[in-house]
A and B are shown apart, each in its own frame.
Chain A
Amino acid sequence: MSSGIVGQQPETVREAFEQEFGRFARFRAGGADELTFAEAETALRELAELRTRHTGKKSALAGLKKLIGRVAAEERAAVGQQIQQLENEIIAALEESKQTLDAHVAALRVERELLDVTLPGRRTRRGHQHPITLVRQRIEDIFVAMGYTVEDGPEIETDFYNFDALNIPPTHPARSPQDTFYTTEGFALRSQTSTVQIHAMQRRKPPLRVIAPGKVFRRDTPDATHNPMFFQLEGLLVDRGITMGHLKGTVTEFLRRLYGPQTRTRFRPSYFPFTEPSAEFDFSCFKCNGAGCRLCKGSGWIELGGSGMVHPNVLRAVGIDPQEFSGFAFGFGIDRMCMLNFGLDDIRLLFENDVRFLEQFN
């Protein structure tokens, strides 16, 4: 069909292209799967060169296209169409192969750059707060929100603060050097944070609300449930018209914030020299909610601490008139609460500072 100056040239161009393109022809319909990443990249590069050679400005095809203008007018349309078709075919062959190879390379690149997203993130090892600090801060936050001031006093005390002002009689066994540590100069290591009650009532006038978390000391030989040093928290409220109902309501509110709204509390009568009436308080087990389990030894209740109405002798010792004001006090062990909350089986772990222990708390 071709004639004139174009003659057989399109056929020649087609044959030349097909000869060189032959080894890429299989990629027109897939067929790149076996290629390695490097082979596919090489093929793509060679394909690009092929394209330049056969479709670029200096290619035979380009030369052919320039001839179209010189074809006789009546044949120009047909010849032009023929050359255009040739170009389309060549480009289509190149494009299709390229797409296959591109897709293969992209797939291989994804595979190569695949991340193990489960590897640990990059960050330096963090330290951990001590479980006693964690529990103490949580308790402080609750009581501050309930209007309490956090106070502290000396850890090495005079007999007045550790015993006398707390209405502990001179013959009480707690005063004996069997039970309480004494310095060579006769000071006592405070055996309860109740000492801070006295300091607080000397510093402030009622109405007052105070908690005192702190270190206390008793002469117990260390074992799984005893340490000669531990942490306690004492609470004190003095105001007009305060009753045991306020004490129970306060302790219950605190425990509900700590262990959840289902928590119940109960009082059992007890004796402490610095409160009258006195009561131990228990709360419903946070694990079984009172049904009975190993944590609460089947009783459904967990013993937490002691409490009561501030003894009138204690109020008098700090110049508060017990006829005008009444108050309540309560206290419990923070270490014990740690044991309960975290399920510790040996209280000595708290002061051994084994990193394997400490790093469990967050």
Chain B
Amino acid sequence: MNISYNWLRELTGARLTAGELRERLTMAGLEVEAVHEAGDDFVLEIAGLSNRPDWLSHLGVAREVSVLAGGEVRLPEMRAAREEGKTESFTSVEVEAVDLCTRFTARVVRGVSIAPSPAWLVARLQAVGQRSINNVADITNYVMLELGQPLHAFDLEKLNERRLVVRRARAGERLTTLDGVERELDAEMLVIADAARAVALAGVMGGAETEISDATRDILIEAAHFAPASVRRTSRALGLQTEASDRFERGVDPEGQLRAQARTVALITELAGGTATTDAIDLYPQPATPTIVPLRFSRVRELTGLDVPMRDSIRILGALGIERAGADGAGSSADDGGARSAAAESEAAANFVSPSWRTDIRIEEDLVEEVGRHFGYDKVSDTLPAANVAGEYRAHEGRRRASRRALNACGFDEALTFSFIDTAHDEQFEFLPGLVRRADEASRLVTLSNPIIEGAARMRPTLLAGLLDSVRHNFNHGTRDVRLFEMGRVYAADSEEGGQPRETDACALVATGVATEEGHAGASRELDFYDLKGALEAALAAMNVAPVEFAATGARHLREGQAAQLTCEGRAVGMLGRLADDVAAAYKFKQPVYVAEIDFAALLAAAEAGVRYAPLARFPSVTRDASLVAPRRVTFAEMQRAVVELNLEQVRRVALVYVYEGERVPEGRRSVTLRIEYRADDRTLRDEEVDELHGRIVGTLEEKFGAQLKR
């Protein structure tokens, strides 16, 4: 809100400079974002707080200034120059929708001359950013800016039967508002109507047909109070936000209508002539009852740590218009505070009346805040609370950090992507095992009813969609070698209808392009499946998870024959492989992309691998290699298992040396070179013993897998 410095001075008499006001208002909670010069005036741009609609007026800001600068707020002239006759002799008002219109006041001024406003009024309105229209319209605006009460002036002669009805609109009823737009209303919108039709959108904007014009002689001044939610709804539904709707939405003083109306009528009779009625129609069936808020003065120190003398508390509250209630209890002698002992003061209490314009003041803490902020938060000292509890990280934080660093060491950059993704991805990916339990998956996913990014309405059931978007972003910006991982939550609907969605921690990896060395431009080689698997293994090792097994699998988003499933403690916990061609094509990828996704929460929850020391070997071991030409589909794991299952005590390790395919190996087969380590605990093995064991192993592999020993 734009606040005129001169206007504030008229209301308060305060002598602070605009610069001083800027600093002190900001530190009292009215953030002054800028100060501009405007002719002989300054304009303070104030960003108020959402619970202080009273700051949307010069009067409201003046009350704060009066506390900061001392002195009292002086209300302006309220008497009409000429008065005659009762309002009800000229018009009548009926409020049908009493739930939406809690108060409605009307007063009539007859015989006005609509003309341009005097220069001072034009200048002042201009200074705060308002355009001058004519004297009467300007005065209603002026009073709104001064006192915070929106007002409207109707051309009385244009009202059918010269009367008003406040009611809900009829569905489909039309009204052309002051901005010249014809609007279709719905039955929830509150309108002010005459005997025949809607003539104003209550609290939002007047109607064009009853607008005052140069020919207008008699006017009806409306000042009302409307239910904030109703005004907000109407304003949103019509996309029509106005100075009036802003104020009504946030709440205007329910007791301020007559004062604002009197001020308006006084200015009109002064500047536009005419004769005002002597009274106002005031439909106010349920007057607001003042809220009494008790304050124990000691609570100020207990909550803020500030030592505020009781008389300062009373002074600050009083200057804000928060007066002590007439009959006090224990604190009845609170105002001779100067002479009281500190002990007595600490027990003192008083009841305060929350002013009608301060709907935010309801409880003791609200009063504590008023006292504290005006006494000065700059006086709050820095104190550390005494330590009585021990700090603690999230469960498994160390393992999370270790796995992140392990992935970094493997060349993977950490990514973060939006939690909402396009619904188009639903069919592309297979999700983490067990995430979606039912057959009709789409209905078991979590969907936003109001997405902000076009199409991104699905709460992600997989991290892969976002990571692959990031891969595409990098491709589009010239980076072809990309390794990314993300740790974050994936979401699925609860298995029970209406249950809170399930969220689980997942981790996903994507890799494409070539491996590079730090500081070197050249590529060392193309990344492949085993780079991804290696990174995953490194992350799992860093997390110290129980042993994980990899087995060939099929998955919707993975290329057939290049996909693996991970299991841990017999439970499927993730998948990895090369992105399937159709998914890659949908992303317009032209180079192989490898992806993995694991159920991070399940892996963290699984038993952590323990460390148990094994005595160091006392006798040397002997290693023998065996190169076996076997069908390609025989896996390394199967060979390894076959050796292990022989249960030979002296066989300590079966490791891979290399795999070879190509020249001199028949089509459909490959050569797998295994290295087997033999050792006994009680002696050095003799060559003949090793030969015998090795022979048995080779024989078993040959027989079991149709393999031939390569010589």
Contact = CB atoms under 8 A, between A and B. Distances in A.
| A and B pair up | yes
Contacts of B404: 129, 133
Given A228-B453, A271-B50, A130 B29 contact: no
A183 to B, nearest CB: 5
Given A177-B450, A277-B365, A126 B409 contact: yes
A244 B484 contact: no
Contact of B411 (A127, A154, A228): A127
Given A137-B401, A244-B372, A156 B414 contact: no
Most B CB contacts (10 A, CB to CB) among A147, A184, A209, A245 go to: A245
Given A132-B416, A351-B416, A177 B449 contact: yes
A359 B413 contact: yes
B381 A130 contact: no
Contacts of B485: 127
A182 B448 contact: yes
Contact of A354 (B388, B452, B473, B501): B473
B554 to A, nearest CB: 29
A73 interface: no
B26 A268 contact: yes
Contact of A125 (B27, B52, B446, B518): B518
Given A150-B392, A185-B498, A271-B51, A309 B449 contact: no
Interface string A347-362: 0001111111011000
Contact of A229 (B419, B447, B481): B419
Given A239-B388, A271-B49, A326-B302, A124 B446 contact: no
- Listed from nearest, the 8 A-B pairs whose CB atoms lie closest are A120-B519, A245-B305, A269-B29, A277-B369, A243-B305, A353-B470, A144-B391, A269-B373
Nearest to A123: B518
Contacts of A358: 413-415, 484
A359 B482 CA distance: 11
Contact of B412 (A120, A127, A137, A178): A127
A170 to B, nearest CB: 9
A183 B459 contact: yes
Contact of B417 (A158, A182, A244, A353): A353
Nearest to B418: A229
Interface string B296-332: 0000011111100000000000000000000000000
Contact of B501 (A187, A237, A267): A187
Interface stretch (A43-51, A85-93, A247-255): A247-255
A246 B384 contact: yes
Nearest to A151: B394
Interface centre among B365, B373, B405, B481 (most CB of A within 10 A): B365
9 contacts: A122-B517, A126-B518, A127-B409, A149-B392, A155-B491, A156-B501, A217-B419, A243-B301, A312-B365
A120 B519 CA distance: 6
B389 A271 contact: no
Given A252-B382, A277-B368, A181 B517 contact: no
A342 to B, nearest CB: 15
Contact of B391 (A146, A245, A269): A146
B387 interface: yes
Given A124-B411, A270-B49, 5 more contacts: A121-B519, A125-B411, A147-B388, A239-B388, A277-B373
B363 interface: yes
Given A150-B394, A353-B415, A120 B520 contact: yes
B662 interface: no
A266 B377 contact: yes
Contacts of A268: 26-27, 29, 31, 377
A241 B299 CA distance: 11
Contact of B228 (A137, A171, A207, A239): A171
A243 B500 contact: no
B417 A250 contact: no
Interface string A217-254: 10111100000110000000101011111101110110
Contacts of A326: 302-303
Interface string B409-450: 111111111111000000000000000000000000011111
Contacts of A356: 477, 479
B385 A215 contact: no
A128 B305 contact: no
Contacts of A336: none
A87 B186 CA distance: 127
Given A183-B447, A358-B414, A173 B304 contact: no
B546 interface: no
A279 B485 CA distance: 38
B696 to A, nearest CB: 40
A320 interface: no
A278 B29 CA distance: 10
B479 A355 contact: yes
A104 interface: no
Contacts of A246: 305, 383-385
B415 A269 contact: no
The prevalent SS among residues of A at the interface is: mixed
Contacts of B453: 222, 228
B346 interface: no
A110 interface: no
B483 interface: yes
Contacts of A184: 447-449
Contacts of A353: 413, 415-417, 467, 470, 473-474, 484
A243 B517 contact: no
A351 B452 CA distance: 16
B408 A127 contact: yes
A54 interface: no
B459 A126 contact: no
Interface string B452-475: 110000010000000100100110
A38 interface: no
Contacts of A208: 389
B488 to A, nearest CB: 8
A269 B517 CA distance: 53
Nearest to B469: A353
B302 A243 contact: yes
B302 A125 contact: no
Given A137-B401, A244-B305, A326-B303, A156 B500 contact: yes
B452 A221 contact: yes
B245 to A, nearest CB: 13
A267 B393 CA distance: 29
Contacts of A259: none
Nearest to B229: A171
Interface string A135-150: 0010010011111111
Interface in A198-220: 207-209, 215, 217, 219-220
A239 B384 CA distance: 13
A311 interface: yes
A311 B517 contact: no
B390 interface: yes
A147 to B, nearest CB: 5
